[in-house]
Amino acid sequence: MNIEKVIFSFFIVLALTLNFGFFLGDFDNPEHHNVYELFIVVVVNLIATVLKFGERTQMGAVLLATSLVASLQLIAAVLVWTFAVHINETGVTPSVIGTIVSLAGGALVANIISVVLLVIDISVQRR
Amino acid sequence: MKNTALFLILRRMRAPILALIVTYAVSILGLVLIPGIEADGRPQYLSFFHAFYIMTYTATTTGFGELPVPFSDAQRLWVTVSLYISVVAWLYAIGTLIKLLRDPALQQLIGQNRFAAQVRRLNQPFYIVCGYGDTGSVVVRSMIERELGAVVIDSNQDRLNELMLENLPVHVPGLCADAGLPANLSLAGLNHPDCRGVLALCRDDLVNLKIAIACRLLSPGLTVICRAQSHDIEANMESFGTDAVINPFDTFAVHLALAVHSPDLHLLYEWLTAIPGMPLPERLNPPHGTWVVCGFGRFGKAVQRHLEYEGVPTVIVEKEPVKTRAPKNVVIGRGTEAVTLRAAQIEKAVGIVAGTDDDANNLSVIVTARELNPKLFLVARQNYSENDALFQSARLDLVMQRARTISRRILALVTAPLLTDFLRLARHQKPAWAQDLIGDLRPILGGLTPDHWSVSVTEEQAPAVHAWLQAGNTLPLSLLMRDPRDREQHLHAMALLLRRGKEEMLRPGEETEIRPGDTILFCGRRGVAEHQQRMLTEDRVIRYLVSGETRPQGALWRWFARREA
């Protein structure tokens, strides 16, 4: 058992599950989407991205790319939230939460790709 | 290759960045969860945005104060803890980054990448110079002056620092690496389309041999010029078709023998191979008679052989006659003492060559010999360029400096292949021929060493002349030496050699008619080549030189001219 692999897989899967948890719920209902959860999703995604820094394999490069996509999508969602609450001061209206959830949904797709790639990588190694 | 540095940085920065993310996340989460000062009975909580803002100015120790609202004591406690943790995380990250950038392996990698990029960007013909010692630096400087590019490889960083401080008009990329490794030669542009050749000038003959082999195999079309000090290696290099192998000892000995044989020819050689624009060297007059050669090493052997060939008798002085396999009539001793020199009959000799591998001994020999016989012609071998001042003040007639000897031959080979042919042909001429040529050249040069250049009458290099000849006109050689600004004036230049197919004409006459495909070697004052370049490329300049009329340029002026007529 390789402890590095464990940590690596753990964060990739955690990024997906948390992302899915935030995404779950009514699309335009602010009550169903928790700001703490979004924060944790962003942090875990950033960690998952940094963990792939400096990988020279083809798989490592693709995983870095998908994680970067997810992180950027989530940061965009965070920015939308910040704008709505602090700058425009409209609060989290259904239309705002709709935008945030759709951005998080994009990140979810990227995270799913990450996990699928991870599974393929493991099955190819046959060990 | 190119991304290795980036990968290395990213990989090593992984841990510090993770530490930063985690400390920020924990601190922000703490700030958001800890209740603030109560307002109207309810505790106020910070939003994520405000928490991130506070951490941003706290972790970087900017410390704006308690913004946007005063903190509760619980928050203050948490901010204090977060500040210490996050500052440590920042120090860790920045420290790692700085350590990484100062890492010698990374530095070397970055240097290599930069070097490779500089070489890729070169867009003029260049030579790879391996070894930037005394010889290499002279060669590079002269090549740059003649508008040839250079790329330097040397295994010693100090020498490359010298290259950087040299203040050359063009940037010369330098790499600190072993030139004997093919990978480094490729990095230096062995396969670059503008690479003309490789000059192997390392101190170690074996490295030069490796370079020569690598070039022959990896890039067979290139010119390879090597320096070699032992005859074994020289023969080895020549065996697989190295273009030129230069042995400094033999080269100098040939030079000295030439000066004895024909002082004028020697002077001609000195003039044509000097750096242009320097004061003209004076004629040497080595006397005929017996010469004393001190030191029978590689240098002494070469000198003795070439002097004997010219019919000059020599007396050898050598400390270790058995080891050096000296002839039987050798005088045993160093030559630094008067006794040995007297035994070698220095009073009757006309010249002395101090040729040991020790500069102090050589100078000592010279000084002692001069005291015994003030009329001697003094020749000394200088092994180290640091002793320049000593050898200059010793008032010697001729100094053998390895660097100068090699660099002159290399420059002749590299900058004007035709010049090498000219000098080869000139050597077979009578001494009177050289005397005539020197006499004719002196007024043209005006006291400064000449520049030399070759002109090929082809469509690319001389389009105007080529077109003029293709149109059925004739053009005597004298016309190419008229001044394009005033055709009554002569350019300060002379044609030395004309090559037409396999035929080679030494000093072609003024009335020789030029034909397409000819290659002509000129020599003349510095800057004359640029004037001549105009008539080679501009139609109207030729027309003016032939007929004396200036044809108006442009449609309007032509129309005017027609009306006037």
Digit-coded pLDDT (tens) for A60-98: 889 999 999 999 999 999 999 999 998 888 888 889 999
Q: B28: nearest CA in chain A? A: A39
Contact A35 B48 (CB under 8 A): yes
User: Which among B299, B135, B321 has a CA at the least distance from the CA of B230?
Assistant: B299
Residue-wise pLDDT tens digits, A34-44: 899 999 999 99
Which pLDDT does position A127 carry in this prediction?
Answer: 53
Contact B17 A53 (CB under 8 A): yes
DSSP B387: G
pTM of the model: 0.71
Contact A50 B28 (CB under 8 A): no
Residue-wise pLDDT tens digits, B496-555: 889 888 888 888 888 888 888 888 888 888 888 888 888 888 877 888 887 777 766 677
Chain A: give the shortest CA distance to residue B186, in Å: 24
* pLDDT beyond 60 at A50: yes
Residue B399, SS3? Answer: strand
Which pLDDT does position B119 carry in this prediction?
Answer: 92
Chain A and chain B share a number of CB contacts under 8 A equal to 43
With a threshold of 0.85, tell me whether the complex ipTM lies above it: yes
Contact A54 B29 (CB under 8 A): no
Which pLDDT does position B1 carry in this prediction?
Answer: 44
User: Which two three-digit tokens encode residue B209?
Assistant: 């041999």
Q: B483 pairs with which residues across the strands?
A: B486
* pLDDT beyond 50 at A45: yes
User: Which among B276, B244, B274, B271 has a CA at the least distance from the CA of B496?
Assistant: B271
Which pLDDT does position B548 carry in this prediction?
Answer: 74
Residue B7, SS3? Answer: helix
Residue B407, SS3? Answer: helix
Contact B22 A86 (CB under 8 A): no
Which pLDDT does position A77 carry in this prediction?
Answer: 94
For residue A54, the chain B residues in CB contact (below 8 A) are 7-14
Which pLDDT does position B387 carry in this prediction?
Answer: 86
Which pLDDT does position B565 carry in this prediction?
Answer: 63
Residue A2, SS3? Answer: coil
For tokens 């000139």, name the residue: B426
Please list the ranges in chain B whose pLDDT falls under 70. Answer: 1-3, 551-553, 565
Between helix B417-427 and helix B402-415 the angle, nearest 10°, is 110
Which pLDDT does position A36 carry in this prediction?
Answer: 92
Q: How far apart are CA B54 and CA A66, in angstroms?
A: 31
CA atoms lying within 13 Å on the CB side of residue B521: 21
By Cβ distance, the residue of A47, A54, A78 closest to B21 is A47
For residue B7, the chain A residues in CB contact (below 8 A) are 54, 56
Q: Beta-carbon neighbour count of residue B169 at 10 Å? A: 9
CA atoms lying within 13 Å on the CB side of residue A35: 18
Contact A53 B13 (CB under 8 A): yes
For residue A82, the chain B residues in CB contact (below 8 A) are 48-49
User: What letters, b where the CB count within 10 A reaches 16 and e where it falls short, cover B229-268?
Assistant: beeebbebbeeeebbbbbbbbbbbbbbbbbbbbbbbbbbb
Q: Beta-carbon neighbour count of residue B427 at 10 Å? A: 15
Secondary structure element (H or E) that encloses residue B403, with its range: helix B402-415
User: Which among B486, B466, B451 has a CA at the least distance from the CA of B536?
Assistant: B466
Contact B14 A85 (CB under 8 A): no
Residues contacting residue B59 through CB under 8 Å, at least 6 positions apart: B23, B24, B27, B82, B83, B86, B87, B89, B90
